[in-house]
Structure 1
Amino acid sequence: MQSDQARRGGGKRYVGLDSESVVGPLRRIVATAQNGLEVIRFGGLDAGPSAAPYQVVERTAMYRLRRYFPDSETATSGIPVVLVPPMMVSADVYDVTRDKGAAGVLHAAGLDPWVADFGSPDKEEGGWNRTLTDHILALDEIVDHVRDYTGHDIHLAGYSQGGMFCYQVAAYRRSRGIASLITFGSPVDTLAALPFGIPEVVATRSADFLADHVFNRLAISGWMARTGFQLLDPVKTLRSRLDFLLQLHDREALLPREPQRRFLDTEGWVGWSGPAVAELLRQFIAHNRMVSGGFVINDRAVTLAEITCPVLAFVGEVDDIGQPLAVRGIRRAAPRAEVFEYSLRAGHFGLVVGTVAGQQTWPAVSEWVHWQEGVGARPGGIVPMAAPDPHSEGETGVSLGNRFAHTVTTIADVGADVGKGFAEIAAGTVRGARELTGEAARTLPRLARLGQIQPRTRISVGSLLAEQGRRAPQRECFIFDDRVYTYEAVNRRIDNVVRGLVHSGVRPAMHVGVLMETRPPSAMAAATAVSRIGGVSVLLAPGADVAESIRLGNVEKIVTDPENLARATATGLPVLVLGGGDVRELGIQPGTDVVDLERLDITDVQLPGWYVPDPGLARELAFVLFTGSGDTLQMKRITNYRWALSAFGTASAASLGRGDTVYCLAPLHHSSGLLVSFGGALAGGARIALSRGLDPARFSDEIHRYGVTVVTYTWSMMREILDSPSLHIDDIHPVRLFIGSGMTARLWRRTLEQFAPARILEFYASTEGDIVLANVSGAKIGSKGRPLPGSAEVRLAAYDPVAGRLIEDDRGFVRECGDNEMGVLLGRPGAATETFTGVMRGVFEPGDVWIPTENLFRRDADGDYWLLDNKRTVIVTPHGPVYAQPVIDVLGMIPRIDLAVAYGITVGETELAVAACTLRENKAPTAAEITAALDELPVDERPDLVHIVPSIPLGPSYRPAVDALRARGLPNPTVRSWYADHATGTYRRFTKAVAARLAAGTLGPEPAAR
């Protein structure tokens, strides 16, 4: 038995335990019930007044402009800081708590805080129709309003997408009136760090699809925005709710964090209009134009490269929305601005709201502003932003260590290393997979489509433009003079031109001359409108050959621009004037057959019964082009299939997509402009950037402003740009590819050096037939590459350039060339190829059919083709044939040589090969350098003479012309001319004595001096 004392002691202990275990829990239950009921009834606990005072200074349909602490001293003397929220977050994000919120902290630091309040689209008239442009233009107004109120340039700050708005409006304004930019977790290079490791090709294609097919009909409501934000970090969301429930009995512990909780859970989210979401997805995710440039604001192309004010970007080390690598993209996108960063251990929301923001973010902002205003030194923690390294921390810039530490609190070092290793392997796999997937996704459908084209397939430039317009009418089609035009607008313009042409007598199959140069949009509209009718566009180059081109092309009417009106009327043909708007005076002379299409009232024009839009078949003639000039003028006939082959072939080889902007420098009457630039961009769905001509200063500006990713060129065009002192290209530029034909090896290397890491894709395309060669890899500088899939099968036929005929074998068939043997390039016609008069049959075997080109090639052991010369320009010397292109290439590799050409001259009865060169910096090479360079060629294929000339004329396509040099005959003997001494195998100075012996018909070593 237990003693009484033991029983009493035990009893006392029992009673005490009962009090603690029953009364305490009851109190917790009661407190929990009371607080929970308050949360249910009012949405949260009453924490008392916490918002800072403000006044709405400006009110429009798009925004309310708040000025905080309007009656304080800082309202008259403080430096203005304008805070911009994202579209889906309430403007109250900057005033969640008065003591730790942005407005309160900045005011306490002596600054003048303003907030742009866009409201909620579901509560504003027309709110669901707001576009991204509407927000930028509204912010542009706000900047002007605050400057007018304060008389001071403003510091513009934005959180998340609000920071993207700040970047965009600063670029739109070219930093006018903006003292500095401050952003918080605002991504710029969106494709550099996608959430959850989403492959780029998936993100871009999904963004395009959602923009074109979902958000053109659907908006995002406030609850959808809130749910999406919470699902981005479900662990943190669940943990915060669990913590709230577990502490629901302790009101004093919850009250300090209650405003923040209510903001995140219910009050802080607003809707997002569908058009604005679509623009965001299309411009800044699918096409990543914050980095490349060329995003569109108010129909104007804009680039962040035009930002010149200082930038401070806050980087959250564990931010999975505005990931560090994406945020640091501003360093690349704005190369002309001083860019700083402040890195802190915070997630996306914690950058601007909460304890960390109150203690670090907003004090740092106030110190930054004072430093920019010349008060104090640079704040601690703010450092110049280095160029981002995409491989430094995996795919996102948020290291695995930081992410796990933030989520789980602690992690073993070994586990972190292992995890990071797996992440790096996965990242590499994803990168490789997305590159392959992206290429296949773009290329295979285009090649499949080419394979489906038959002679009676309807395909034309007009039908392809209409097709792109049906797919996405609001997508940008082309840019010209800083204006951006959608497919809908372009097709409407073309349909109006069609009505004018039909009214003026243009009919299917009619040959219509297009004589334009300075107005590429009008030339494009005219040619496409003729195609839409089913006519043939004869593309005329302004110049001395217009009359002959009109005769060869059987032109019946001419469409021209005001600048070429006089030249067009001089032909005596009916003239239709297009371009320049309806307010210009043309000075049309009475009695002339001229119609001003811009002033023609087409509202009552009825299209006739025969009109069928875009009737062109693959086999039918679509365009007529001209090459050469004077005696060498040649007409080239382009069928619809030939145009489609070049268009889809270019798009495939260059991997053109909707995110690309193709810069077209060549005029439409050149094959590069028609087939590569216009055709490739249209087939690839890329934007076309049209220029008024080659101007290096304009080139530098438009490359950045338009976000040009692909530049097309012809011959020596890039030389004009590289040699210009007005060329200003930053190390960080958007160009990824140059594509064209005729670039010399020397110019190729110079272009690669200037525009690294861009590549060059050199093409060769026969203007008749279906041959398209492309050096896709760019590994062999100077090579024309290999046949593109979908183009014609090619072979080299052995050729004797001296006799001017093909070489046959013992059976009478043409002998096919072996590796590195010169021959004529032939192409086998396909099902959709038009039959030409020059077709060859029974070439290599009985019954085979081939279309010859005029060009001589060699094929190396790897299967790559190298252009040597044209059959008509091979120089037949006493020591054998000399081919121009190899001579040009080897001389061009001498650093002091600029341009080089090779041509033949007749001295007596002897044909001599002459090479003419221009110099860089006017310093001539030595005879030893000439000899060493030409040693790369076989002895018999070296030029007889090499001389330096002041200049080499360039044709309209920037192709070096030799007619004038050839007409001068034998070069003058100077210290800058050399001849081939065949006895020694070297080049020696060309003297009067040597010239005399040449004139006498002998060529040998110069006699020794006595």
Structure 2
Amino acid sequence: MCKLSGPSSRTFVGEQRVDVNLSAVTRPVIRPVERLLATAQNGLEVLRLGGLETGTVPSPFQIVESVPMYKLRRYFPPDVRPGKRPPGAPVLMVHPMMMSANMFDVTRDDGAVGILHASGLDPWVIDFGEPDKVEGGMQRTLADHVVALSQAIDTIKATTGSDVHLAGYSQGGMFAYQTAAYRRSKDLASIITFGAPVDTLAALPMGIPPNLGVVAADFMADHVFNHLDIPGWLARTGFQMLDPLKTAKARVDFVRQLHDREALLPREQQRRFLDSEGWIAWSGPAVSELLKQFIAHNRMMTGGFAINGQLVTLTDITCPVLAFVGEVDDIGQPASVRGIRRAAPDADIYQTLIRTGHFGLVVGSKAAMQTWPTVADWVLWLSGHGSRPANVVPMEDQQAEDDESGVQFASRVVHSVGEASEVAIALARGAAGAVVAANKSMRTLAVETARTLPRLTRLGQINDHTRISLGRIMSEQARGAPTGEFLLFDGRVHTYEAVDRRVNNVVRGLIDVGVRQGDHVGVLMETRPSALVAIAALSRLGAVAVLMPTDGDLAAAARLGGVAEILTDPTNLNTARQLSLQVLVLGGGESRDLNIADGQDVIDMEQIDPDAVELPGWYRPNPGLARDLAFVAFSTVGGDLVAKQITNYRWSLSAFGTASTAALGRGDTVYCLTPLHHQSGLLVALGGAVVGGARIALSRGLRPDRFVQEVRQYGVTVVTYTWAMLREVIDDPSFGLHGNHPVRLFIGSGMPTGLWNQVTEAFSPAQVVEFFATTDGQAVLANVSGAKVGSKGRPLPGGGQIELAAYDADSDLILEDDRGFVQVAGVDEVGVLLARPRGPIDPTASVKRGVFAPADTWVSTEYLFRRDADGDYWLVGNRGALITTDRGIVYPEPITDAISKVSSVDLAVTYGVAVGGREVAVTALTLLPGATVTTADLADAVSALPVGMPPDVIHIVDDLPLSATYRPSVGALKAAGLPKAGRNAWYLEVGTGQFKRLTSAVRSELAGA
């Protein structure tokens, strides 16, 4: 007999009772069935609903502001707060463009808004929405997001009356930085970012080399995303492919645990967000702008990025910053995130390091346990309610390391699968660093070669009949990159297309008033966009722009330049009216009163409707040939105004030479400190920028108090100079560099050697590229490496052939060999620089024929150089400026260079004083403020002159007068004669080679009295 009861039964065998447990028997069968049924049930729910039903509800929020660009959410608004407690400090959270704003509330209890609310703060979220579902959404730019975020900050400030803590994840963090800079930190209590790249080229995702990243980003910005948007599914796929191991592991884990609903539910909301719900479309213009401005050009670091035409720099951030750094974050890599320390030197920068990846910084268990509680403690600390969080530490100043290439692949693998030891990680990093160090110079060389070789090739192909001009190159750039930024002025930016359109309109205006190809038109304008446009328009028309100095003899300039009309701006209108010429007025804004009286020969060009002008049959844009005269510039020689004719070839030589030597590209900004009527502004700054496709920043003149601010605001990478111009900056009491600066090159001519050393020390690691070019452009030298301070470098590739003719200084003769040909100067021998002419020869040039071969033609520059064993050229003087003393020939330039290198010397100049039918060599110098100089310093400086002899007299002067181009002038010093005897003057004791105090007796002896 058997009776069943529950899971067990009793069976009697004979007189014994046996208990049998049925569960133990059936469990091995039932468990797989239950697991299979649970897996099927949960899988069906996932297929039907996209995921498991968690039963969670989103945190309550109120839409405070709704505009087409965004909706502003306030979570846990005051009317739903327990006990109606007043909200704490407002925290505005910003999502990246490709992710939904719901990321801050993925799970109510462990999400950002819930944790911040529980800590007593006032959480806000800006929701940019789904652009593909909003009218015009797929035309949004990055600037639209920054302006919208700034507007949201205004709303929160007005609503709460409190300054806002701005918190952004990934690109949302970039928005936070950009908006803070755009607002100059107005109404911001702090900035909090999570994996937000700043120095994007310090470490690109997946270890992509920076140079390759720049090229790829530039190409995709110009040729892909200007036609293509990114849908949400593609954004999701791209994000997941950045860490395929982690993505695959998460999916495998999900499938393996599909039967265990309780195990899956805590992470289900996060999984659904990453797999489907959290991704939104990304507009093509915004992607293009991100790639161009902040990856290819890295303008978060350099400054000069444009927001609604306004130029912005992160150096304007002054509020505290907390940057969360993911140790294994391959998107916002640590080296890139830490760039904020150098980009915002005036802000207090802190960091928190978390061992997690990119998304884990803001969502997940570590975010819930570390990130958001730290954010709450940070806000409370800044609000005066608590101490600084223990894991928040000041971010140390640091320079980007040459071998810092971002999160290593080995580190990502270790984080994902928990394998490999710290030793293996160190080895992997060391090996990768060695590879980077070995290949960096090769990558740089390859990129620069690819950039400069086509320019040099084109320059070498230019002949007399080549169509080349400023107007033509600008047209080419406008066609190739119409939206490319070109002209920066007064904090605003203008594109190539906008400037080119303005040039064409001015051309029509010039045609309407009767200007034709070949006409000489004076340009009397301050440095401003309209001046650049006027010069370019005359070039496009084929006319000659006569660049009249605003502070010179205008009547003489008009006469020398053959001017029939004068193009001016309202500022110089009254001055232009004094000339008996037709006056054309251009620029100055729309609202202006020119006070043009009846009968005056003045035409307001702005009143001409370009669309109403019919182009004549003779007009062809950009007709200029290389041999054609393009510009007339002026310089002062011996007090007289001298006209310098500049052909299109001469302009092209300087423009292509500058662009090639400086390796200028679209990521560069050239800072033009000289007026455009000066040859440096026209040939080097404007010419180099146009040929290089770079931006040109025009200044209203050198202002030392604004120099550093404008360098950062414009993102200046290349500064042009003349002579001692930068002395005004270095010697300014307010000058100081803090943190990062974008300058990589100073390029110009005539910089004193002492100032050269000061500039490179102050702006390290920037270098000086010193040019030497004759007025006619037949001879061009460039010190590209900057390694030899004071050297003029070597011949510019593509710039024509030069040679150094042997020279007898005592007889002032070029030496010939037995066959009558000119001898070539040997190493460190002084010679006359000769150039083999290309293009038209200046009528005033000294032409030599049959120089090195029968019937060859060379032009003597009349400049004296020596050439060292490496082939570098050093200027020693001009044939007409050598000083013939009783001791022999004194070359002025080597002495000036040597004295200028004395650490206490500010400026120096060497000249000859005529006394009693002979000359005395004198060096005048000024000292740096508070500095002194000893006779030993002076003797040491001139003891090892490479050629020539020391000066007879050295004296200290209070000031050295500078010309309009900042060139030291010796006219007044020569006229004053020998220096007076005293404690600041010394003479050379010939027997000992030492300098002694200049006394009245010695002075009388030198004067021959």
TM-score bin, normalised by smaller chain: over 0.9
> What is the one-letter code of the residue matched to 2:509?
G
Please report how far the alpha carbon of residue 591 of structure 1 lies from its aligned counterpart in structure 2 after TM superposition.
3.6
Structure 2: how far apart are the matches of 1:262 and 1:161? Answer: 21
Unaligned runs of 5+ in 1: 1002-1010
Counterpart of 2:701, as a letter, is G
Contact 1:189/1:291 (8 A) holds in 2? yes
- Paired residue for 2:429? 420
Q: 2:289 aligns with which of 279, 283, 294?
A: 279
Q: 2:217 touches 2:296 (CA, 8 Å); kept in 1? A: yes
| Segment of structure 1 superposing worse, 783-792 or 940-949 | 940-949
Structure 1 position 756 matched with structure 2 position 764: yes
Give the letter aligned to residue 111 of structure 2. G
2:587 counterpart (563, 579, 583)? 579
Aligned partners of 1:98, 1:661: CA distance in 2, in Å? 48
Q: Distance in 2 between matches of 1:378 and 1:861?
A: 62
Query: 1:791 deviation in Å?
Result: 1.1
The superposition leaves residues 387-442 of structure 1 with CA deviations (integer Å, 9 ceiling, x where unpaired) of: 3464498410x256632321221214554344334322332244233212211221
Q: Does 1:447 align with 2:456?
A: yes
Indicate yes or no: 2:1003 matched with 1:995: yes
Query: 1:487 is aligned with what amino acid?
Result: Y
Superposition deviation, residue 79 in structure 1: 0.8
Question: How do 1:402-551 residues align onto structure 2 when only pairs under 5 Å count?
Answer: 402-413=411-422, 415-516=424-525, 518-551=526-559
Cα distance change of structure 1 residues 924 and 431 upon mapping to structure 2, 3 Å threshold: closer
- Aligned partners of 2:20, 2:502: CA distance in 1, in Å? 95
Q: Could you list the per-position Cα deviations for residues 897-952 of structure 1 after superposition, in whole angstroms to 9, with x for gaps in the alignment?
A: 22111222222322222222222236553444333333233796322222222221
Residue 237 of structure 2 is aligned to residue 227 of structure 1: yes
Q: Distance in 2 between matches of 1:634 and 1:837?
A: 14
Partner Cα distance (2:126, 2:272) in 1: 21
1:338 maps to what in 2? 348
Separation in 1, partners of 2:607, 2:568: 14
Bigger mean CA deviation after superposition, 30-39 or 559-568? 559-568
AA aligned to 1:739 is: I
- Please tell me whether residue 354 in structure 1 is matched to residue 364 in structure 2: yes
CA deviations 1:338-363 (Å, max 9, x no partner) are 11111111111111111111111100
Give CA-to-partner distance per residue, 1:39-97, whole Å, 9 cap, x none. Answer: 11111111113310001000000000000011216773311000000001000000000
Aligned equivalent of 1:49, options 35, 53, 56: 56
Alignment of 1:188 with 2:198, yes or no, is yes
Rounded Cα–Cα distance in structure 2 between residues aligned with 1:709 and 1:692: 18
Distance 1:832 1:658, change over 3 A: farther
> SS in structure 2 opposite 1:202?
helix
Matches of 2:84 and 2:812 in 1, distance apart?
89
Decide which moves more: 449-458 or 797-806. 797-806
Distance in 2 (CA, whole Å) between partners of 1:801 and 1:78 is 84
Aligned to 2:5: none
Q: 1:671 aligns with which of 672, 679, 687?
A: 679
Name the SS of the counterpart of 2:983 in structure 1. coil
Which has the higher mean CA deviation after the structures are superposed, 65-74 or 489-498? 65-74
1:267 aligns with 2:274: no
Retained in 1: the 8 A contact 2:527–2:675? Answer: no
**Cα pair 2:892 2:910 within 8 Å, conserved:** yes
Is contact 2:896–2:909 with CA below 8 Å preserved after alignment?
A: yes
Contact 2:894–2:947 at 8 Å: present in 1 too? no
* Deviation for aligned residue 1:468: 0.7
Instruction: Identify the residue that residue 977 of structure 2 maps to in structure 1.
Output: 969
2:920–2:1006 CA contact under 8 A, matched in 1: no
Bigger shift: residues 908-917 or 650-659: 908-917
SS of structure 2 residue aligned to 1:603: helix
Aligned with residue 649 of structure 1, among 657, 667, 674: 657
Larger displacement relative to structure 2 (655-664 or 107-116):
655-664
Shift of residue 201, structure 1, vs aligned partner: 1.8
- Displacement of 1:829 in angstroms is 2.5
Equivalent AA in structure 1 for residue 128 of structure 2: F
Report the equivalent of 2:109: 99
Q: In structure 1, how many angstroms separate the alpha carbons of the residues matched to 2:270 and 2:469?
A: 60
| Inter-partner Cα distance in structure 1 for 2:713 and 2:777 | 38
AA in 1 matched with 2:537: A
Residue 267 of structure 2 is aligned to residue 257 of structure 1:
yes
Aligned to 1:717, the other structure's residue is in SS state: coil
Residues 903 and 915, structure 1, Cα contact 8 Å, conserved in 2: yes
Q: TM-score, normalised by structure 1?
A: 0.95
Moved more, 88-97 or 320-329: 320-329
- Relative distance call for 1:983 and 1:417 in structure 2 (3 A) is closer
512 and 46 in structure 1: CA distance in 2 versus 1, 3 angstrom threshold: same
TM-score (norm 2): 0.95
The answer as to whether partners of 1:801 and 1:876 remain within 8 angstroms in 2 is no
Residue 8 of structure 2 is matched in structure 1 by: none
Q: Match for 2:611: what amino acid?
A: T
* Secondary structure of the corresponding residue to residue 83 of structure 1: strand
Cα shift readout 1:221-257 (whole Å, capped 9, x = no counterpart): 1111111111111121122112212222222221111
Deviation at 1:990, TM superposition (A): 2.6
Distance 1:264 1:800, change over 3 A: same
RMSD of aligned C-alpha atoms?
A: 2.4
* 1:36 and 2:43 correspond: yes
How many angstroms apart in 2 are the aligned matches of 1:400 and 1:122?
A: 35
Picking from 687, 695, 698, the partner of 2:703 is 695
The equivalent residue for 1:1008 is none
Question: Which 10-residue stretch deviates more, 413-422 or 186-195?
Answer: 413-422
- CA separation of 1:286/1:75 partners in 2, compared to 1, >3 Å: closer, same or farther? farther
Q: String of CA shifts for 1:542-578, please: whole Å, max 9, x gaps.
A: 2333333332222222222223223323232222222
Match of 1:134 among 131, 144, 148: 144
CA distance in 1 between counterparts of 2:19 and 2:468 reads 100
- Alignment correspondent of 2:815: 807
Answer whether contact 1:394 1:423 (CA < 8 A) is retained: no
In 1, Cα distance between equivalents of 2:54 and 2:626: 75
**Matched residues in 2 for 1:615 and 1:245: separation?**
71
Amino acid at match of 1:19: T
Residues matched between the structures, number: 993
- Counterpart amino acid of residue 35 in structure 1: N
Measured in 2, the distance between the counterparts of 1:144 and 1:838 equals 69
Match of 2:303 among 293, 297, 300: 293
Q: Does the 8 Å CA contact 1:498/1:530 hold for their aligned counterparts?
A: yes
1:63 to 70, 88, 91: 70
2:982 is paired with a residue whose SS is: coil
Query: What's the % identity of the aligned pairs?
Result: 57
Alpha-carbon shift at residue 630 of structure 1 (Å)? 4.8
Distance of 1:251 and 1:715 partners within structure 2: 77
Preserved contact between residue 891 and residue 948 of structure 2 (Cα < 8 Å): no
Letter in 2 for 1:946: I
C-alpha deviation, 1:798, in angstroms: 2.4
1:569–1:831 CA distance, 2 compared to 1 (3 A) = closer
SS in 2 for 1:619: coil
The CA deviation at 1:584 is 2.1
1:570-719 equivalence runs, <5 A = 570-588=578-596, 590-631=598-639, 633-719=641-727
Letter in 2 for 1:759: Q
Counterpart for residue 776 of structure 2: 768
Question: In structure 2, do the counterparts of structure 1 residues 725 and 150 end up closer, same or farther at CA, with 3 Å as the change threshold?
Answer: same
Deviation at 1:865, TM superposition (A): 0.2
- Alignment partner, residue 177 of structure 1: 187
Structure 2 residue 158 is the aligned partner of structure 1 residue 158:
no
Between 908-917 and 850-859, the greater mean CA deviation after superposition: 908-917
* Offset from partner CA, 1:791-813 (integer Å, 9 cap, x none): 11111112344544422223222
Identify which range, 180-189 or 941-950, moves more after superposition.
941-950
Residues 871 and 543 (structure 1), Cα distance of their counterparts in 2 relative to 1, 3 Å cut: farther
Letter in 1 for 2:533: A
Residue 877 (structure 1) shift? 2.6
Aligned to 2:734: 726
Quote how far apart the aligned CAs of 1:157 are.
Answer: 0.1
Moved >6 Å (runs of 4+)? 11-18, 831-836
**Separation (CA, whole Å) in 2 of partners of 1:374 and 1:879:** 77
How far, CA to CA, are the matches of 1:903 and 1:5 in structure 2?
132
What CA distance in whole angstroms lies between the structure 1 residues aligned with 2:918 and 2:597?
55
